[in-house]
Amino acid sequence: MKKLCVYIFIFSFIPLLPANAEDVPFTRGINLTNWFQVSGAREINFSRYTKHDFEQIRDLGCDVIRLPINLHSMTSGEPDYIIDPLLYDLLDQVVNWAAELNINLIIDNHTFDPAVPTESSIGPVLIKVWSQMAEHYKNSSDYIFYEVLNEPHVISDNVWNTIQQ
């Protein structure tokens, strides 16, 4: 319990959006930093959190968990970026815990270093990776949200808006 409480307060036990925000099914959450932020699926320390931890997060009043993932590192890399099946095995459990507990889950593509400009050519890679994720989770839960890319920067609004579409 002590470990979980420390992480909750360090990693943003704060409201994510104003309480009156429309069309957003969550208002308060936490970020589970460094759990899936590793250089490959086999490096994930899955025992770091359990369903019981998710229950405690819910009991603290959180209705959303943001899960940063070094998503591109969980693939075969160029040219196909095929997602490692082990990532799905582990992430499916997280998705199931969140759904069972009515907690929204933001799967955050946290692949890139914010100190390095986002390449304007990233669009095709994002499409390959997110198409697989969307296909895999299309019928699994109404509690999943996707953050296409954490903090894209030094990329023109025009290029980024085209990528998001």
The pLDDT value given to residue 113: 80
22 domain residue, yes or no: no
19 domain residue, yes or no: no
20 domain residue, yes or no: no
Helix (H, G, I), strand (E, B) or coil at 140: coil
Are the C-beta atoms of 54 and 98 separated by less than 8 Å? Answer: yes
Alpha helices, DSSP H only, in the chain? 2-10, 51-59, 85-100, 123-137, 157-164
Binned at pLDDT 50, 70 and 90, residue 34 comes out as very high
103 domain residue, yes or no: yes
Instruction: Identify the CATH number of the domain in which residue 44 sits.
Output: 3.20.20.80
From CA 80, how far away is CA 76, in angstroms rounded? 7
105 domain residue, yes or no: yes
Amino acid at 160: W
137 domain residue, yes or no: yes
pLDDT, tens only, 49-98: 999 999 999 999 999 999 999 999 999 999 999 999 999 999 999 999 99
Query: What domain range is 61 assigned to?
Result: 2-14+27-164
Amino acid at 116: V
Per the structure, how many domains does the chain have? 1
21 domain residue, yes or no: no
From CA 73, how far away is CA 89, in angstroms rounded? 16
Are the C-beta atoms of 59 and 103 separated by less than 8 Å? Answer: no
107 domain residue, yes or no: yes
State pTM to two decimals. Answer: 0.85
Binned at pLDDT 50, 70 and 90, residue 7 comes out as very low
Binned at pLDDT 50, 70 and 90, residue 149 comes out as very high
